[in-house]
């Protein structure tokens, strides 16, 4: 598991009657959209595998997981925007591997992708989890993209399930 990440919500004890709301690790009634880049595909395949493994472990039904492949990281927000407009998904996960080079190109791409994902999340009121790996070297990227619990994809899946269930809880509490 990633450093600093807790696998499930635990309320803070001793706060009396204050209502504390957190998401669940049970994704059995969620529909999740994953959008991933074909650029650096050997790395992004590892991200997709670990993401799907974590979603299945959290009881998200296989037929409720959609993986959309786009040419590069820059195209991810456009695809997720179209998916979000359908209203069919409870959460989205963006996956890519951006490796810094000798120019500012990677920095510009990473910034635009992050900005776009945040805008989509706020506009559509749906969680959009940023599972985009940014690294200075291919070795650093590989270490973050490999399958298993140490992968950025694993964390992204856990966050998507927790946020998808949390948004449902909060929405159900709102009047009208």
Number of H helices, E strands in the chain: 5, 4
CB under 8 Å, gap of 24 or more: what pairs does 85-89 form? Answer: 85/124, 88/31, 89/31, 89/32, 89/33, 89/126
Longest dimension (CA), the chain: 55
105 has catalytic annotation: yes
> Pick the catalytic residue: 105, 115, 123, 125?
105
| Catalytic center residues | 105
């Amino acid at each position: 598991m990633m450093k600093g990440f807790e696998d499930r919500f635990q309320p803070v004890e001793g706060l009396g009657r204050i209502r504390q709301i957190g998401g669940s690790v049970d994704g059995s009634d969620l529909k999740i959209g994953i959008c991933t880049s074909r650029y650096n595909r050997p790395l992004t395949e590892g991200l997709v595998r670990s993401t799907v493994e974590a979603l299945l472990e959290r009881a998200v039904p296989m037929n409720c997981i959609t993986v959309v492949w786009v040419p590069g990281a820059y195209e991810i927000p456009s695809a997720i925007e179209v998916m979000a407009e359908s209203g069919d998904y409870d959460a989205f996960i963006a996956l890519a591997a951006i490796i810094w080079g000798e120019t500012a190109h990677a920095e510009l791409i990473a910034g635009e992708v992050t900005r776009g994902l945040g805008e989509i999340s706020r506009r559509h009121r749906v969680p959009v989890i940023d599972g985009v790996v940014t690294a200075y070297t291919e070795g650093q990227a590989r270490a973050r993209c490999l399958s298993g619990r140490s992968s950025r994809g694993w964390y992204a899946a856990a966050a998507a399930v927790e946020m998808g269930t949390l948004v449902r809880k909060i929405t159900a509490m709102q009047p009208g």
